[in-house]
Amino acid sequence: MSDKSPIEQLPQQNVLVKVEDGIAWVTLNRPSKRNAINPGIVYEMCDVLDAIELTEEAKCVVFSGSGDAFSAGQDLKEYFREMEKAHPAMRERLQRANSMWQWRRLMHFSKPTIAMVNGWCFGGAFQLLCACDLAVADEDASFGLSEINWGIIPAGIVTKSVAMALSQRAALYYILTGDTFDGREAAKIGLVNFAVPKDQLQAKTITLAKKLMEKNPVVLRACKSAYHYVREMSWDASAEYLGAKLDQSKLRDPERGAVKGMSQFLDEKSYRPGLGNYRRED
């Protein structure tokens, strides 16, 4: 049995990982290809998420890219052209793994996630961007759904991701025209939460990560999970589900946050909701 931690056992080739002050920094590492997503990134990222989940020191996850790009999207040569020659089962395995980390796994990941868009973000990279809970972008980052210019549609789950994140008008405009836009526009249309000058990007992301790490992790995870599930439910089903989810989070919370917060608000008069967290150290 290895004495190395789960993160130390990662290959650190196509994806780099380090943990500092509670933040797991996950960096796509193909700068010469503008971090285009290839099979290597896909399979490594599945292992990365497993490792981070098992690393208690990692409280929040930030995704970014090496060099001047977040990600240029799917690697057309490695992901598509070369896979045409592969056995059908290998192609299906790759598709399964890609949807697993960018969709099912990341969207419902047990720890809060932030996309730090430090440059190019095109096509398939929108899946990673939209799967993250929150996003911060360089004002001059370049975004685009350029698939239509290649004679294809934004497939995988790109169109689904964009449809969930943007209004119909904004989503269809960029899908149908293939026009590019910058980080300022991304913030304006709601694709990212904030757009800041490049020299402030990391600091803004760290501030946001720290805010998330101050929250009760069990309740934070429940809030995130509940949001994604109720989007697909009816009003009646949502009411039933949310009631059950609330009870579940109270039962699983070792901090007993609901009891503490209520006591500090009603009995001690020491806590005012909306002005900060209840005192978690009590």
Q: Is the dihedral of CA 100, 101, 103, 105 positive or negative?
A: positive
The confidence band for 2, taking pLDDT boundaries of 50, 70 and 90, is low
Structure tokens at 61: 């996850």
What is the C-alpha to C-alpha distance for residues 256 and 141, in angstroms, rounded to an integer?
Answer: 42
Residue 156: predicted pLDDT:
80
Q: What is the pLDDT of residues 141-161, one digit of tens each?
A: 999 999 999 898 988 889 999
| Mean pLDDT score, 97-123 | 91
Q: Residue 266: pLDDT above 80?
A: no
pLDDT at 282: 58
Least confident of 144-153, 164-173, 196-205, 238-247: 144-153
Under a CB-based contact definition with an 8 Å cutoff, are residues 98 and 156 in contact? yes
Percent of the chain with pLDDT over 90: 72
Q: List beta partners, residue 17.
A: 26
Per-residue pLDDT at 181: 98
Residue-level pLDDT at 131 = 94
Q: Kind and range of the H or E element at 179?
A: none
Residue 200, pLDDT > 80, answer yes
Q: Which of 63, 176, 80, 214 is nearest to 126 (CA)?
A: 63
Checking if the pLDDT of 77 tops 80, the result is no
Tell me what percent of the residues of the chain surpass a pLDDT of 70. 96
Instruction: Please calculate the CA angle 80-36-124 and round it to the nearest 5 degrees.
Output: 70
pLDDT averaged over the chain? 91
- The predicted pLDDT at position 222 comes to 96
Number of H helices, E strands in the chain: 11, 10
For residues 84 and 86, give the distance between their C-alpha atoms in angstroms, rounded to a whole number: 6
Judged against a pLDDT cut of 60, whether residue 42 lies above it is answered with yes
Q: What angle do CA 88, 32, 153 make, to 5 degrees?
A: 45
Scanning the structure block, which residue is given the tokens 């759904």? Answer: 145
Q: Please determine, for residue 268, whether its predicted confidence score (pLDDT) is greater than 90.
A: no
Mean pLDDT of 173-195: 97
